[in-house]
Every structure is written in structure tokens, then in C-alpha cells.
């Protein structure tokens, strides 16, 4: 038979461990905000491959890591339309990353509203819904968590607040 004091000690230790685990989860959950829905990001995943502008992966590469002008970038520059080749060459072979440290560094001090506005200015001919879906997917690929509300043009949250490692 286990002495009652040992049982009480074991129960107390388990309670402390569980309380710490749940409070850590609550802090992590509260620490980052969600500004898009999972459905929106999933739709954006498909639209990034094909939308009224084309495929974002043509210019920004298949991994969305951007172009720096090296010959190993996919798809290869010479396989793109002449119009895209000219556009990319006009930028010195460079196209900004949409995923990864470069994107996060560039956007960490700005807001989702700034990002939505930049997409509007650059890709205004693409529908608002498609632009927002693509932005949701980009944010998700950079580590942001989805929530219950969709991203809108008026959503105004610091991008740094979307990531736990801010």
C-alpha cells in the first residue's frame, strides 16, 4: 500500500505539470494573432498557381523564395514568357521572396494592411478576394496561424504579431 503522503505528492506534481503546460499553451496562443482563415489560405494555395495575372511561382520561383539571378532557379528564366523574362531582367534578375527570412525581415515592421495595399497597387487587376487569399497563403507559409476570420483589406495587424518568434 502506498502511503497517503506519497499519493498526495504525486497528485500535486501532476497538477503543477498540467497547469504549467496549459498556461504555456495559453500564452503561446495569445502571443500571436490570427488574421486569415484556413479556407482562405487553402484557396490562396491554389490561386498562387493560377490566377488572372498568371502563376506567382513563375516570377517568384516554385518555392516562392524569390529570384536573385542564379541559373538554378525554378522554373528557369528562359522557360517563362518573353514578357516575364523582360520584366525579371529589368529588375536585374531579382524578384522579392514571398516566403522565408527575406520576406519576414522585409515585412516584420509593417502591417497586414500595408501588405494588402502593396498587392492592390501591384496587382489591382486581380480580384480583391484572390489577392487576399494569396496573402493568407503567403502568411501561412511564413509561419502565421490561421484563425476563424478571413483577411480583409481593412485588417490592420502588425505582421510581427503573427509569428511566435517575433
Q: Are residues 26 and 98 in the same domain?
A: no
Q: Tell me which residue of 26, 38, 27, 99 sits closest to 63, measured CA to CA.
A: 99
Q: Are residues 26 and 54 in the same domain?
A: no
Q: Are residues 62 and 127 in the same domain?
A: yes
Whole-number mean pLDDT of the chain? 87
pLDDT at 20: 46
User: What is the pLDDT confidence band of residue 70, given thresholds at 50, 70 and 90?
Assistant: very high
For residue 21, the enclosing domain spans 1-31
Q: Are residues 18 and 48 in the same domain?
A: no
State how far the Cα of 100 lies from the Cα of 95, in Å rounded to an integer. Answer: 13
User: What is the pLDDT confidence band of residue 13, given thresholds at 50, 70 and 90?
Assistant: low
The model's pTM = 0.79
Q: Tell me which residue of 45, 55, 67 sits closest to 141, measured CA to CA.
A: 45
Q: Are residues 57 and 120 in the same domain?
A: yes
Over 90: is that where the pLDDT of 30 sits? no
Q: Are residues 75 and 10 in the same domain?
A: no
Q: Are residues 43 and 58 in the same domain?
A: yes
Q: Are residues 52 and 67 in the same domain?
A: yes
Q: What is the number of structural domains in the chain?
A: 2
Q: Are residues 109 and 146 in the same domain?
A: yes
Q: Are residues 94 and 26 in the same domain?
A: no
Over 80: is that where the pLDDT of 166 sits? no
Give Cβ neighbours of residue 36 (< 8 Å, ≥ 6 apart): 132, 135, 136, 139, 140, 144, 146, 147, 149, 150, 151
Amino acid at each position: 500500500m502506498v502511503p497517503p503522503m506519497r499519493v498526495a505528492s504525486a497528485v500535486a506534481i501532476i497538477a503543477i505539470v498540467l497547469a504549467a503546460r496549459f498556461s504555456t499553451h495559453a500564452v503561446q496562443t495569445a502571443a500571436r494573432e490570427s488574421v486569415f482563415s484556413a479556407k482562405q489560405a487553402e484557396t490562396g494555395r491554389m490561386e498562387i498557381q493560377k490566377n488572372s495575372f498568371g502563376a506567382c511561382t513563375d516570377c517568384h520561383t516554385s518555392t516562392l523564395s524569390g529570384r536573385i539571378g542564379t541559373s538554378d532557379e525554378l522554373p528557369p528564366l528562359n522557360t517563362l514568357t518573353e514578357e516575364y523574362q523582360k520584366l525579371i531582367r529589368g529588375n536585374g534578375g531579382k524578384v522579392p521572396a514571398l516566403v522565408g527570412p527575406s520576406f519576414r525581415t522585409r515585412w516584420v515592421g509593417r502591417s497586414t494592411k500595408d501588405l494588402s495595399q502593396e498587392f492592390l497597387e501591384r496587382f489591382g487587376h486581380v480580384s480583391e478576394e484572390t489577392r487576399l487569399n494569396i496573402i493568407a497563403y503567403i502568411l501561412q507559409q511564413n509561419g502565421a496561424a490561421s484563425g476563424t476570420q478571413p483577411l480583409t483589406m481593412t485588417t490592420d495587424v502588425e505582421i510581427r504579431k503573427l509569428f511566435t518568434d517575433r
